[in-house]
Amino acid sequence: MNPFKKLVLIILAGEMSGGVSCRSNIGTGAGNSITLTDTLKSVLYLSPDTSEIRQSPQADLIWYGRELVANTRKYLGPAGIVAQVSNQLNCQNCHLEAGTKAAAYSVNFLGVAANYPLYRYRSGMLETIQFRINDCMMRSMNGKSLDTAGREMKAIVAYILWIGKDIPAKIKPINSQIEQLPYLQRAADTINGKKVYTAKCQLCHGVNGDGGYSVDAAIYYPPLWGAGSYNTGAGMYRLSSLAGFVKNNMPFGVNHGQSQLSNEECWDVAAFINAKPRPYKNFPGDWPDISKKAIDHPFGPYADSFSELQHKYGPFEPIAIKRKKKFN
């Protein structure tokens, strides 16, 4: 038996007609069972149970790391009690459930231990875990790098390594990813996006996108734009990342296979959000090989002649086709 919890999503053999979904009820015992409505052909790895942390010789450090991921603002935000080096977000606003959310496409931390150091085209180098965390600190958290020798960085690394400790080398679990939605045949539409936002997001994230606490202060709704949000160098500033995240995780509580939004609505609401003002930061060193630059990164220079506007909102397919012709 494998020491870690591994679920196999059942695939129905043969063709399944559209609209029919495969409901596989998959249990793992130990309070870790989930139900996914899914036709994905993949193995779903789950995070270890937090009750196991105390068995680690690094237990205190791992717990502190988890606390930092869940409540980053409290420790590192504008009024942080340890340092003031990040914005109004918590890591877990995007890496849900402190980076352990089980359902597919939840951007959890399960794949980090198995894949880093990792070569990435954005930096054009082999990245350590610390480097990757500081990437999110400088972009998603619109802040400053953490000292790699400091207790906060050590704690976050220890926690993230603990989450992925049982994942075999080089495996990138499906639930640690963002879904790449198919491109639309048109540019994403901020006007339609506003309608989606008003109907499906505004209740929690606010008319001005600045979030805040629920009436009973039990839930923190993070800002989606404005001074407290991610900057223009962040992954979420790329439409495909934001749309794929929203598809599988928003409105809050939604899991893969239960989306309330069509793909079009996801692209459009992403366009509406990323058209709003937010801290501007460009990292001119990104994608040193511009032929590898993400298609929806809205800052040139590019290896093609499409405008920054088209690289931001699409249509993306003509860019993708041109790129294939040129480089393959």
Question: Site residues (CB under 6 A) for ligand HEC?
Answer: 69, 72, 89-96, 107, 111-112, 132-133, 136-137, 140-141, 156, 160, 176-178, 200-201, 203-205, 219, 221-224, 229-230, 234-236, 241-242, 245-246, 250-252, 261, 269
Q: In DSSP terms, which residues pair with 8 in a beta bridge?
A: 43
Distances (CA, A) of 257 to 47, 79, 96, 105, 247: 20, 38, 17, 10, 9
Using the minimum distance from each CB to ligand HEC, give the nearer residue, 10 or 34.
34
Element (DSSP H or E) covering residue 34: strand 34-37
CB of 237 to ligand HEC, least distance (A): 9
Token pair of 161 as six digits: 């390594």
For residues 325 and 328, what is the distance between their CA atoms, to the nearest angstrom? 6
CB of 178 to ligand HEC, least distance (A): 5
CB of 126 to ligand HEC, least distance (A): 13
With beta carbons less than 8 A apart as the criterion, state whether 279 and 223 touch.
no
Using the minimum distance from each CB to ligand HEC, give the nearer residue, 176 or 310.
176
CB of 284 to ligand HEC, least distance (A): 20
Using the minimum distance from each CB to ligand HEC, give the nearer residue, 157 or 319.
157
Q: Name the burial class of residue 164, with classes exposed (0-12), middle (13-18) and buried (19+) by CB atoms within 10 angstroms of its CB.
A: buried
CB of 12 to ligand HEC, least distance (A): 28
Token pair of 28 as six digits: 């793992």
Using the minimum distance from each CB to ligand HEC, give the nearer residue, 22 or 40.
40
Report the candidate in 80, 238, 60 with the shortest Cα–Cα distance to residue 144. 80
Using the minimum distance from each CB to ligand HEC, give the nearer residue, 55 or 130.
130
CB of 1 to ligand HEC, least distance (A): 26
Using the minimum distance from each CB to ligand HEC, give the nearer residue, 17 or 209.
209
- Tell me the torsion sign for CA atoms 168, 47, 257, 193: negative
